[in-house]
Amino acid sequence: MSALSGPGPEPMSLRWRWPRLSARRALKVLGFCVALGVWQGSAVRLSQLSRRDPGPWAPPFIWEVTSALAVALLLPLMITAVLNAPGPRVGWGRFLGIHLGAYALFTTVHVAVMTALRHGAYALLGLGAYDFGEPTYQLPMEAQKDLISYALIFAVISLQAAWRERQERALRAASLEGELRAAQLQSLTGQLHPHFLFNALNTISSVMYEDLPRTDRLLSDLGQLLRASLERTEPTWTLGEERLHTERFIALLTARFGDRLTVRWDIEAGAEAGLEAQRVPCFALQTLVENAVKHNQDLRAPLEVRIRGRAQGPRWMLEVEDTGRGFGAASPAAGPGVGLAQLGRVLALLHGDRADLVRGAGPEGGARVTVWLPREASS
């Protein structure tokens, strides 16, 4: 049956929901009900033993076990009622109608199944005919007991359903958060800046008629940079991959600035350090080197950029230092600090408080940026 349409909030769908049953869960419920019946039967038997004529031992266990088994068989009915009327928020008419109908069916079937099982057990054990008692009094008594049982079972099933719904919502929220986080990382560790592409193309066009082999190398470097930028599927890669990418980036910068730019590498080598295999945010070094050049491109003095990598206990650092104007002076580039802010957000998304980005000054007064990353175990 489809939901009614009309103005206002969308009404709840009137389609019936059915419980998902499994053999393992059914066996667990059946075992629990049998154990509960035996326990309650032992309590009744102890009460009988306090009398002068306790009678045979079997009837109390038959009464309670058959009652518990009948309840176990009716649990799907209870679950169906809870699923389709989980609370008064669906409307009091629907809520009361479903539960009153379910309770009436529950107590009717419970008494019938319980009585049939007791007749069979009495005959099997040679206890004679089972006497249900005077229906005028016995049926109302059983209905009262069933009302209590129904209410308790309803409460347990409702709490379990609410817990399961909260768990599913939490999983959906975590999944959505992961997707948003991945999308944010994809955006932050994004593409090459358009102004760099324009400058690179202008640089290549200026040398293509003078040095064809160099032009070929520069075009290859630019192509590899574009491929890495467009085809990247993960937010991190190894330091070795980042270094190769940055070296291509620096080659294009050097072609543009010539002797005005010098880049020196000082990455700790050796299997013990294992820095080449450590993972870094994609384009982290590129961002730092680009910032160093961009904010000092108007200087007449040569600019030296130093790239260092060192392992220190559980963490390791990646540092870029330049001999330019530093953070205190005004920069000719628009929007200073945006690249560093984005890199800081990427580090926070990837590692939380286990990573850090520190700004400082080099010995010549230039800018120094140090990125601290958690050290991954070697595979």
Q: What is the pLDDT of residues 326-368, one digit of tens each?
A: 887 777 665 545 578 888 888 888 888 889 999 999 999 999 9
Instruction: Please state the domain extents for the chain.
Output: 23-178, 189-374
Across the range 304-322, mean pLDDT stands at 93
User: DSSP H helical segments within the chain, as ranges?
Assistant: 23-49, 58-84, 92-125, 135-188, 194-207, 212-231, 239-257, 284-294, 338-351
pLDDT of residue 26: 85
pLDDT digits (tens, 9 = 90+) for 228-281: 777 766 788 899 999 998 998 898 888 888 889 999 999 988 755 678 899 998
pLDDT of 271:
55
Question: Which range, 24-28, 105-109, 294-298, is most confident?
Answer: 105-109
Express as a percent the part of the chain with pLDDT over 90.
27
Locate 194 and state its tokens: 């358009």
> Looking at the predicted structure, is the pLDDT value of residue 372 above 90?
yes
For residues 297-312, average pLDDT: 91
- Asked: is 189-374 a CATH 3.30.565.10 domain? The reply is yes
| Structure-block tokens of residue 112 | 């019938």
Tokens matching residue 188: 């932050």
Residue 184 binned pLDDT confidence (cut-offs 50, 70, 90): low
Spatial distance between the Cα atoms of 264 and 324, rounded to a whole number of angstroms: 15
Cβ–Cβ < 8 Å for 105, 76: no
Q: Which of 210-214, 247-251, 310-314 shows the lowest mean pLDDT across its residues? A: 210-214
Residue 304 CA to residue 293 CA, distance in Å, equals 9
How high is the pLDDT of residue 190?
53
Spatial distance between the Cα atoms of 304 and 362, rounded to a whole number of angstroms? 11
Residue 6 phi/psi, 5° resolution?
A: 160, 180
The one-letter code for the residue type at 158 is S
Mean pLDDT calculated for residue range 27-36:
88
Confidence of residue 111 (pLDDT cuts 50, 70, 90): very high
Question: What is the pLDDT at residue 33?
Answer: 87
Whether pTM exceeds 0.85: no
13-27, 38-52, 72-86, 168-182: least confidently modelled range: 168-182
Q: State the chain's mean pLDDT as an integer.
A: 82
CA distances from 246 to 94, 271, 286, 293 (A): 66, 22, 5, 13
